[in-house]
Structure 1
């Protein structure tokens, strides 16, 4: 392990577009289901539904959070609907599994999705045994990243000292609260970030693909 990361005892990973390439376009299927859900809920066309969806995402952290706040949507109903997708675009990732196995310390998944969906994705990727646990939106009491409470709850649930933790995300904005409490941050810049460009001085490592970066930190003596 490179000296700069010798302090890391807990490795925390986002799920979607982080543990698999954004180019797989799996989330596009979820995105389309969200649009359909909103169109039916509000009785609007797809264009307006998509506008509402993105406005809620930017304003509330997730589309679900916006729907709950503005329309009292049942989160279980929403999550079951949007996650009812085929995962045939995902393939087993043996190099990632091998790299994760070599990381010293605990490994966790921290996702705004729910646990059943996360477990299906991990199994599809061949990562079912790579992580100690999945901390999902229900474990966050439905308060998603990037709200600070989500990170505090994660640390409390697993007795994590943020100063010895590293968080990997494809959404740069979700790294800012992690950095604020002392975590080392890794941004997987693969085109999935939707927030406006900023200085992003809260990013410690700016990478474009996860596996090459993990292999590089592990191979350095």
Structure 2
């Protein structure tokens, strides 16, 4: 293990656009279903629904959180609907599968989606048996990333010491709360979100290819 990361005991990974490439475009399908859900629920046209969807996302962390707060939306109904997408676009990345298998310590998924969806994605990626647990939006009490309480709840649920934990995310804004409690942070710079130009102090590592990076830190001592 790279000496700079020898203290890491807990490896925490976001799911969407982190454990699979953004080029798979899976989240675009989900995003379209979210837009349709908002249209149907609120009786809006596509343009107005898009504004509401993105407004809730930025104000509440997820569109779901906004819909729950403003309209009392049933999260189980919403998540089952928006995650009903074709996963044939996902492929096994053997490099990533092998790298994750070699990582010492505990491995968890921390997602703003739900566990049934995450399980389907992981199975499709050949990672179904890789992770100890999936900490999903239900487990956060519907206070999704980047709400600081979601990160505290994750650590409390699994007895994780943030100082010995590393968190990998494609959305830079979701790394700031992790860094604030002492986690090592890794930003997947794959085009799904740009890190802020003004402040990047909460990002410890910026990588383009997760599998290659994991192999590189594991091979330093070989």
Task: Tell me the matched-pair count.
Answer: 221
Aligned partner of 1:216 in structure 2 is 216
In the TM superposition, what is the alpha-carbon distance from 1:92 to its structure 2 partner?
1.4
TM-align CA RMSD: 1.0
Q: 1:27 and 1:130 mapped to 2: Cα distance?
A: 22
Q: Name segments (4+ residues, structure 1) moved above 3 Å.
A: 194-198
Q: 1:61 to 1:194 in 2, by over 3 A?
A: farther
Aligned partner of 1:133 in structure 2 is 133
In the TM superposition, what is the alpha-carbon distance from 1:141 to its structure 2 partner?
0.9
Question: Are residue 68 (structure 1) and residue 68 (structure 2) matched?
Answer: yes
Aligned partner of 1:122 in structure 2 is 122
190-199 or 106-115, larger mean C-alpha shift? 190-199
Aligned partner of 1:207 in structure 2 is 207
Aligned partner of 1:35 in structure 2 is 35
Q: 2:204 and 2:15 mapped to 1: Cα distance?
A: 19
Residue pair 2:14, 2:110 contacting (<8 A) in 1 also:
yes
In the TM superposition, what is the alpha-carbon distance from 1:198 to its structure 2 partner?
3.7
Q: 1:207 and 1:58 mapped to 2: Cα distance?
A: 25
In the TM superposition, what is the alpha-carbon distance from 1:144 to its structure 2 partner?
0.3
Question: Are residue 111 (structure 1) and residue 111 (structure 2) matched?
Answer: yes
Residue pair 1:175, 1:187 contacting (<8 A) in 2 also:
yes
Residue pair 2:109, 2:134 contacting (<8 A) in 1 also:
yes
Pairs within 5 Å for 1:3-14: 3-14=3-14
Q: 1:16 to 1:130 in 2, by over 3 A?
A: same
Aligned partner of 1:190 in structure 2 is 190
Q: 2:86 and 2:168 mapped to 1: Cα distance?
A: 25
Q: 2:150 and 2:209 mapped to 1: Cα distance?
A: 25
121-130 or 86-95, larger mean C-alpha shift? 86-95
Residue pair 2:60, 2:66 contacting (<8 A) in 1 also:
yes
Give CA deviations for 1:1-50 in whole Å, capped at 9, x if unaligned: 11100000000000000000011100000000000000111111111111
Q: 1:193 and 1:71 mapped to 2: Cα distance?
A: 28
Give CA deviations for 1:36-92 in whole Å, capped at 9, x if unaligned: 000111111111111111111111100100111111111111101000111010011
Residue pair 1:58, 1:195 contacting (<8 A) in 2 also:
no
Aligned partner of 1:90 in structure 2 is 90
Aligned partner of 1:2 in structure 2 is 2
Question: Are residue 45 (structure 1) and residue 45 (structure 2) matched?
Answer: yes
